[in-house]
Amino acid sequence: MRTRGYVAHAAQTELVPYEFDRRDLRPRDVALRILYAGICHSDIHQVREEWGRSLFPMVPGHEIIGEVTEVGADATKFRVGERIGVGVFVDSCRHCERCTRGLEQYCLDGMTPTYNGYERDGATLAFGGYSRDFVVDEDYAVHVAQSLDPAGAAPLLCAGITLYSPLRHWKVGAGSRVAVIGLGGLGHMGVQFSHALGAETTVFSHSPNKADDAVALGADHFVDTSDPTVLRGYRDRFDLVINSTSADIDLNPYVRMLDVDGTLVIVGLSGVPVALQQEHLTSARRSVSGSQIGGVAELQEMMDFCATHDITARVELTDAQGINRAWDRTVASDVKYRFVIDASTF
């Protein structure tokens, strides 16, 4: 299948128009015409090799919403015309203990990323969602309700599941006390999910101008951290604290905010080693953990939850010609809260 999109031909270069071929449909594949593709900060990190060496040419994008245009001979999960979502990975080994538990994101043999990686044959470069068309094994895609705004639904495939998964794993519900550090592309999803799950939700942000947004998204409390001394007033308060920011911040004051058996979960990556004072952990049996997206079943669960509670990302649309400008603005934190590409402009 001949298609077009945007590509980075080498590290640190701008994205440019690109024509390339998608594979012919295998028996369990589905083809989709992409409607919207979210811009994730990890796209930028990988093209700019800020997380290590990358593979080029690279077509980024792992927040994909589309409509099914064709199904393989043995595919039964989707019908032509249905709305479909593809997230951060498109395959895994399928047989390890983690895959069989529905934790494909932690596949012992390594998940197959939607881009900047090789297909399971170890030779074919995987090209992502900054394009007009896509082909994926039906087992690694999810149904997307027609009731959801498709542009706002695109970031759910990465930003959304990144926050939903830890909230579900740590069993957040009515009576839980949750704090979200940062109200950006990740954090604003966590606030909506935490509120919908019934938790008392607090946002910690160094941007006081986001207070009204935090409340509108479902936060019960907003704390301006531009004066870090305010953090002392929140010790021993929360069951779960989620660090959604990629900034290099001191996490020790947030560990102190945990009640007995509370957990601080890291989902935003600063790339800088974290130094923790051990007595903050031992003094109340506190834990520090991390979480990475979710498996296919959990991704579908989240999409259904979003449909039930009418949850989408707050987005700003860009056309394909504006991708590089949108990237610069993303790095400058000049977006509320995610850029999404209108794929009809490729």
What is the CATH code for 2-158+294-345? Answer: 3.90.180.10
- In sign, the C-alpha dihedral spanning 138, 142, 143, 146 is negative
110, exposed or middle or buried, with CB in 10 Å at 0-12, 13-18, 19+? middle
Q: List the structure tokens of 12.
A: 């640190």
pLDDT at 270: 86
pLDDT at 272: 87
User: 306-337 burial, b for 16+ CB within 10 Å, e for fewer?
Assistant: bbeeebbbbbeebebeebeebbebbeeeebeb
For residues 254 and 235, the answer to whether their CB atoms sit within 8 Å is no
pLDDT at 32: 98
User: Helix 159-169 to helix 187-196 angle, to the nearest 10 degrees?
Assistant: 40
Residue at 173: amino acid letter: G
Consecutive 10-residue runs of the chain (346 residues): their mean pLDDT?
97 97 97 98 95 96 98 98 98 98 98 97 96 98 98 98 98 98 97 98 96 98 95 97 94 97 95 92 98 98 98 98 98 94 98
Any idea where the domains of the chain sit in the sequence? 2-158+294-345, 159-290
Q: CATH number of 159-290: 3.40.50.2300, 3.40.50.720, 3.40.605.10, 3.40.50.150?
A: 3.40.50.720
Say yes or no: do domains 2-158+294-345 and 159-290 share a fold: no
